[in-house]
Amino acid sequence: MKVLGVILAGGKSSRMGQDKGLLELGGKSFVELISEKLDEIGADEIVISTSHLAYTKFSFSLVPDLISDIGPIGGLYAVMKSKQADYYFFISCDSPMISVSILEKLLEQTKENGSATVCKIGDQLYPLVGCYHRSVFELIEKQIENKRYSLMKMLDVIRAKTLDLDANTSSTLLNCNTPEDYKRLKDEPINH
């Protein structure tokens, strides 16, 4: 069984004004913080889904989008097409506080349901904090062929399950999109 950890860093970071994965907390970049958690759960390999050359400073392979300008689904597709694995963790680079226990639960549930499991808090789904089984690749590919790029619709098509988390774990899934989010995150205690 091969588990691939994927850090999604292909976005434009327009609201932040700089590459989010390179931001630091406690002297470590978001990419390093996420990769440490993926290491802890035993990922066989870690890659970064991006074409931004700034990420070459890390020791991970970069996987650029194969189809440009279709949003995050393009990153999922490119990685699954380029890299063979049984399970894929897709973690957005702006979620540096993700916990090992959440990652373990995502993998466990995906092994049980054979599809995908993404985090959910209340009504909010987090498709970019999830674990996807190899079997969903063809369905994702078909969505792209049909020019259906919505991640939420994709989750329905692949019959993704959810890992329901309570509201007090929301900081572990915090999407750091703006300088204000980053300041708030830096003011919180770091949970390694």
State yes or no: 147 annotated in a binding site.
Answer: no
Asked if residues 100 and 108 have their Cβ atoms less than 8 Å apart, the reply is no
Phi, psi dihedral angles at 2 (to 5 degrees): -105, 130
State yes or no: 20 annotated in a binding site.
Answer: yes
State yes or no: 123 annotated in a binding site.
Answer: no
List of E strands, 98-191: 116-121, 124-133, 161-165
Q: Using alpha carbons only, give the angle 89, 91, 94 rounded to the nearest 5 degrees.
A: 170
State yes or no: 166 annotated in a binding site.
Answer: no
State yes or no: 10 annotated in a binding site.
Answer: yes
Asked if residues 117 and 162 have their Cβ atoms less than 8 Å apart, the reply is yes
State yes or no: 9 annotated in a binding site.
Answer: yes
Residues in the annotated binding site for GTP: 8-10, 20, 65, 94
Residues in the annotated binding site for Mg(2+): 94
Residues in the annotated binding site: 8-10, 20, 65, 94
